[in-house]
Structure 1
Amino acid sequence: MQQLNDTSSVLAFLGTRKSASAKAMGEPGPAPEQLAEILRLGVRVPDHGKLVPWRFILWEGDARARFGGVMKARWAELHPEHGGQTLDAVHGLFMRAPTVLGVVSAAQEHPKIPVWEQQLSAAAVCMNILHAATAMGLGCQWNTGWVAYDEGIAAAMGLRPHEKIAGLIYFGTPTGPLEERPRPDPATLLTCWRAS
C-alpha cells in the first residue's frame, strides 16, 4: 500500500497528497511560526498583474466559538423550523479543528485582467496552503459550505461587496489514519483537439 503524503520528493508528494477530515481533527493546530510559513508559501502562486487579489481571516481559540454563535444565529434566522440539535451542529462548525483560515477572493474589475483569473489565483492560494500544511505534517482540509456563500455571514466576516470566500481551510492533527479515495483516470478526461 502506498504511503499517503510521501514527502521524499515533490512528485511523490503530489502523487500521494490526501486531505485530512475536519470532522476528525484534534489539537494541536499549526504553531504561529508554522502558520506564518504556510501563508508565505501559500501566496507563491500565479497572479497576473501582481494584483494580490486575496487576503486571509483567521479563527483560533475562543474566536471559533464566538463566530459559531454568529453562524448559529444566522442559521436560526434562515431556518426557524430547525431545532436545537441542528443549531448546535452549526455552532460547532469551526470547533471541528483548532485553526480555521478563511481565504478571501478580493477580485475586482480590471481593464486587462479578468475577474475569473483573479478568482483562480485565490483557488491556487488555497491549494498551495494545503500543500504547505500537509508537507509540514499537519492535517488540513479545504471546505466551503453554506457559510462561504451567505450574505449575512459575509458581512459578519467583514467581507467587502466584491469579496467572496474562496475556501475555509481547517488545520489540526488527524485523530485517525487517512484513507485513500478513488481517483479519476486522467486518460478518460483528456480530449486531443484536431483541426477538421
Structure 2
Amino acid sequence: MLTLQALLTRHSTPTRQLAAPGPGDAQLLAMLQTAVHVPDHGKRVPFRFLRIAGDARQRLADAAEARLRVLEPATGDAVMEKLRIRFTLPPVTIAVIAKLGDDEKIPASERFSSACCVAFQLLLAAQAEGFGAQWLTGWPAHDRGFLEHTLGLTSDEQLVGTIAIGTATLAVPERERPQAGALLADWPPTP
C-alpha cells in the first residue's frame, strides 16, 4: 500500500538525466492504468494519451524545432538543443491530453483538473516502477499550431504536458519544500 513516506520521496528527474531502458509495453500500460485512477466528476474520462517512443522521438524533436524557428527565428542553439533533448533523450514520453469539449454539467476546468491528476499519477506510477520522470509544459503545451498540426489535437483538446520517462542516470538531490503548516489557515478567519 502507498505510504506517506513513499509520497515524500517523489521528485522530478530532469529530462537530460533520463536514459534507456524505459518501461516496456506491459509495464507502461500498467502505469497508465494506475494513472487513470483519479477523481473524474461525471465519469467523463476527459483525457487521453499519446506515446512518443522509438523513431517518433527524433521526428517530434525535428517538428518542434521547425515550429520554434517559425515562432522565434532568433532562438539560439542552446535553447534548440534543450528542446530537442526534451524529446530525444527519454526512451518514452507520454503526452497527457485533456478533452474539453462542450459539456452541460461538468465545467471544462474540472475536466482539465482531472487530466492534471492523471499526469501527476503517472509521475507517481513511474517512480513506483523504478523510473525517473519529469512533467514538462512550456510553449509546446500552448501553441495551437504545434498542438493541432504536429500532435494532432482537436480544437477542443489541450495538452496538459508531456511526461518523460526513463532510467535516471544520476540521483536527484532533494530540494527545499514549503512547510505545510505555513500554508494552512482556518476558516472562518479569526478577527
Q: Shorter-chain TM-score: what band?
A: over 0.9
Residues 1-196 of structure 1: pairs in structure 2 closer than 5 A: 9-155=2-148, 156-194=150-188
Query: Contact 1:147 / 1:153 at 8 angstroms: preserved in 2?
Result: yes
Q: CA RMSD in A?
A: 1.6
Q: CA deviation at 1:92?
A: 3.2
Measured in 2, the distance between the counterparts of 1:110 and 1:143 equals 28
TM-score, reference length from structure 2:
0.93
2:164 is paired with a residue whose SS is strand
Deviation (angstroms), 1:83? 4.7
4+ residue runs over 2 A deviation: 81-93
Amino acid at match of 1:32: D
Q: Secondary structure at the match of 1:81?
A: coil
- Residue aligned with 1:165, SS: strand
**Which runs of 5 or more structure 2 residues have no equivalent in the other structure?**
none
2:183 partner letter: L
Deviation at 1:23, TM superposition (A): 1.4
Tell me which amino acid in the other structure corresponds to 1:184: P
State the shift of 1:167 in Å: 1.6
Secondary structure in 2 matching 1:188: helix
Q: Is the 8 A contact 1:18 1:180 kept in 2?
A: yes
Normalised TM-score (structure 1): 0.90
The letter of the residue matching 1:180 is E
In structure 2, the CA distance between the partners of 1:85 and 1:20, relative to structure 1 (3 Å rule), is closer
Map Cα deviations across residues 81-107 of structure 1 (whole Å, 9 max, x no partner).
235554444333201211110000112
Number of residue pairs matched by the alignment: 189
Q: How far does residue 113 in structure 1 lie from its aligned partner after superposition?
A: 1.0
